[in-house]
Amino acid sequence: MDKITRLIRESQYSIHDLSAVQLDAFNELPRFNMPFELGMVIGSKRFGGKRFAGRSALIMEHTRYASQKCLSDIAGQDLSAHNGAPRRISRIIRTWLAQESRRNDIPGDQRVFGAYEKFATELPSICASRGLEYDGLSYPDFLGLAQVWINAH
């Protein structure tokens, strides 16, 4: 909880994909981390004063209006549907970042997605070279490898 709170406090932007709510393989219950974290962000924007009021959040879902079926209070938020297509996800995020940051130097979505595909192709061999199991790669290890790869390219 402290880590999530710190990230929200330190971040101007946040990205939430509500389609990430899936059944846990172990106990067959849904994992609600993503909507919970989104709720914390929305709460900080509403109740956190001027410091948080201008923060931006991108909210994505698999299919348009699907999230309203189980999270009716999300109505009124601007959600982007990606249909599970990685290229579309890349385009949505890149366009949103360019709009929200008002920066004109953000690479185009084709370049971003091309880099993603190249990294995804190289990731298994990168894992093998570092003695990491690709299928069991932890999120912190993934982030570290992605950062090293980005810096090298």
59-73 tens-digit pLDDT: 999 888 777 777 776
pLDDT tens digits for 89-105?
A: 999 999 999 999 999 99
User: Which positions ≥6 away from 62 have C-beta within 8 Å?
Assistant: 18, 19, 81, 82, 83, 84
Same domain, 100 and 111: no
How many Cβ atoms sit within 10 Å of the Cβ of residue 93? 19
Same domain, 46 and 95: yes
Same domain, 96 and 45: yes
More confident residue, 55 or 24: 55
pLDDT at 149: 96
Residue 115 structural domain: 107-153
Same domain, 90 and 120: no
Average pLDDT on 112-140 reads: 94
Could you tell me the pTM of the whole model? Answer: 0.80
pLDDT at 1: 84
Copy the structure tokens of residue 64: 């348009």
Beta-bridged to residue 14, according to DSSP, are: 57
pLDDT at 23 over 80: no
Same domain, 118 and 94: no
Same domain, 71 and 28: yes
